[in-house]
Amino acid sequence: MKKLVVLLGFLAFSPLLQAQKVTVNKKSDKVKGESAEGYTTTLEGKKEDIAAAWAKYIKTFGRVKSGSGYDFIENPAMGGTVYTSGILYAKNDGNVESGSVWLGIRADEWTVNDIKIVEETVEKLVYQFGIKFYKDKIQAQINEAQQALNIVVRKQQQLVGENKSLNSKLTNNEQQKIQLEKSLEANKLEHLVLQQKIVNNKKAQD
């Protein structure tokens, strides 16, 4: 019960436990000097953390290549479909407190029949990234809390073990004291008996 209280107490002060809303907005951006249509979301967190998570996320769509200020995946796999044509573009930006990601396409690089469903898929992918990012952050804090709890528990167990050891030593010392006191009393009695024998022997000699 105490473990649960410690863990919940730690998490109660976590800002990520407050409801994090992921909002996705449509946004045009420039790639290769041309306009590309896509979707973006801004997330709370350090720019480098979001960028690292984003880089890992877009790798699930295919081989990532670097362009001028953007990344791209040719013939990406999205929503259970591997496209034989088309390029997916990705960007990220931000600062210390927040970061944004963008995913988009240029319609002229895709088969006409694929454009609508690809745009819908792109919007879902951006949203899913936002959800995943916050979920992973919360899980990381839970793991951190558990590690802190484990340290506290180990320290408590150590103290309990030391306390048991001290109590055991105290009990042994008390028993040794009792034995020593008994031995001392026995020695005193033996001493008195010897003294009396000496007196008796002296009287006998006289």
pLDDT of residue 17 exceeding 50: no
Q: What is the sign of the dihedral through the CA atoms of 156, 158, 164 and 170?
A: negative
pLDDT of residue 7 exceeding 90: no
Q: Residue 13: what pLDDT?
A: 46
φ/ψ region of 94 (left if φ > 0, alpha if ψ in -120 to 50, else beta) reads left
φ/ψ region of 42 (left if φ > 0, alpha if ψ in -120 to 50, else beta) reads beta
Taking only the tens place, the pLDDT of each residue in 72-103 is 999 999 989 999 999 999 999 988 889 999 99
- Hey, how many other C-beta atoms are within 10 angstroms of the C-beta on 82? 10
Place of tokens 């979301």: 41
The helices-and-strands tally (H runs, E runs) of the chain is 3, 8
Q: Residue 10: what pLDDT?
A: 47
pLDDT of residue 136 exceeding 80: yes
Residue 84 near residue 75, CB atoms below 8 Å: yes
Residue 124 near residue 79, CB atoms below 8 Å: yes
Q: Residue 187: what pLDDT?
A: 73
Alpha carbons 161 and 47: distance in angstroms, whole number: 46
Residue 61 near residue 75, CB atoms below 8 Å: no
Q: Record the pTM.
A: 0.68
CA 183 to chain centroid, in Å, comes to 61
